[in-house]
């Protein structure tokens, strides 16, 4: 099917049956437009670099954040068939979030001195890339307003979209700063690891861009004013916190065969929900042991930390947290006046409740 695009070009998208295939097809179009962007007189060498850099960093994840935009928009339309332009615009916004994610990850990996990401070398560790990756991160961030300008400039919510992405980027960068100065500055100090600090890091570093941003994009597309959806934002941030707590739990107690990786939060001295809970419950001897061995990569030390977690019954503490969080989220969701918004929020919650990976 074909429809007129927002810039007068023809938008070609397949039917909604295979949304992920459509989503990936739209990535190819957006990338092609960026490679031909007339704001920069691109050489063949530069075009090849950007092409490779984008393919390496943008489409390689699960794409959950990006796909959530179009999924949420469909639910807000309450069963009405989306036309091709709506599918394209929803997918384009989804890709803007994936671009934002790529930008964060490229720079985060440099800051954390990481080795692998999504089963391959971190971009800055690829031969001949190195710290050029810093500029690539800046390019990734600057691609977002290029996409928005091309496809959304004529929309009444265009300025709101720009504000939204700017706001969420600021919140995420602030969360990253808090994480870095809490977990990496100077000597290892577990006294900094408190629940309020943990919640603040998670809220700003993860919850806003992973949970609130996709729904906010869908609401703007649907013609809504975000100022009237503060409760929805709060629910999604709470959901994002719950998601990160699950992640921390699975890092320690999940099956590596199921989650697809071996957790390293203990070795990495992460401000994990588990260590925060342990510090609240530990006796004097357990506290002394944690202070001495948390953050060490020695397998014996890691096993001792896990043993303390088990002695403190943190698996049941998590199960109770999961139960009460779910009940509170459901209650908050069902208090929303819009059934369509309830549907969006419940679809998010169903995807993550009691997940194993």
Sheet strands (E) in the chain:
2-4, 10-12, 116-117, 120-121
pTM of the model: 0.90
Domain membership of residue 10 (yes or no) is no
Show which of 103, 135, 154 is a domain's final residue: 154
The predicted-structure confidence for 151-175, as pLDDT tens digits, reads as follows: 999 999 999 999 999 999 999 999 9
The predicted-structure confidence for 162-208, as pLDDT tens digits, reads as follows: 999 999 999 999 999 998 888 765 568 899 999 999 999 999 999 99
The Cα 95–Cα 67 span in angstroms is 8
Residues 168, 129 share a domain: no
The predicted-structure confidence for 89-112, as pLDDT tens digits, reads as follows: 999 999 999 999 999 999 999 988
Residues 195, 80 share a domain: no
CATH number at residue 167: 1.10.600.10
Q: Which domain holds residue 340?
A: 157-356
Show which of 103, 119, 154 is a domain's final residue: 154
The Cα 347–Cα 76 span in angstroms is 12
Contacts of 154 (CB under 8 A, 6+ apart): 6
Domain count, the chain: 2
Residues 216, 227 share a domain: yes
């Amino acid at each position: 099917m074909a429809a007129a695009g927002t810039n007068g070009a023809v938008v070609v998208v397949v039917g909604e049956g295979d949304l992920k295939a459509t989503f990936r097809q739209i990535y190819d179009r957006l990338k092609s437009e960026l490679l031909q962007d007339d704001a920069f007189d691109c050489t063949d060498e530069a075009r090849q670099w950007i092409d490779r850099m984008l393919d390496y960093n943008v489409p390689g994840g699960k794409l959950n954040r990006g796909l959530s935009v179009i999924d949420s928009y469909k639910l807000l339309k309450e069963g009405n068939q989306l036309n091709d332009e709506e599918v394209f615009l929803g997918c384009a916004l989804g890709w803007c979030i994936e671009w934002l994610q790529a930008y964060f990850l490229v720079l985060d990996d440099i800051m954390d001195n990481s080795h692998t990401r999504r089963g391959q070398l971190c971009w800055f560790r690829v031969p001949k890339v190195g710290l050029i990756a810093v500029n690539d991160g800046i390019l990734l961030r600057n691609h977002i307003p290029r996409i928005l300008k091309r496809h959304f400039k004529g929309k009444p919510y265009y300025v709101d979209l720009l504000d939204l992405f700017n706001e969420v980027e600021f919140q995420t960068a602030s969360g990253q700063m808090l994480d870095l100065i809490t977990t990496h500055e100077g000597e290892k100090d577990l006294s900094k690891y408190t629940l309020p600090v943990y919640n603040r890091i998670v809220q700003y570093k993860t919850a806003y861009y992973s949970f609130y941003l996709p729904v906010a994009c869908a609401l703007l597309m649907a013609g809504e004013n975000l100022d009237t959806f503060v409760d929805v934002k709060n629910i999604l941030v709470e959901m994002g916190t719950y998601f990160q707590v699950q992640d921390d739990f699975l890092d320690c107690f999940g099956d590596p065969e199921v989650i697809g990786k071996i957790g390293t939060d203990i070795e990495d001295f992460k401000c994990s929900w588990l260590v925060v809970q342990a510090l609240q419950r530990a006796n004097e001897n357990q506290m002394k042991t944690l202070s001495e061995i948390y953050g060490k990569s020695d397998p014996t030390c890691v096993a001792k930390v896990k043993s303390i977690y088990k002695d403190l019954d943190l698996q049941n503490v998590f199960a109770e947290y999961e139960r009460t969080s779910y009940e509170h989220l459901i209650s908050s969701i069902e208090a929303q006046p819009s059934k369509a918004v309830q549907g969006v929020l419940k679809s998010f919650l169903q995807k993550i409740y009691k997940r194993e990976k």
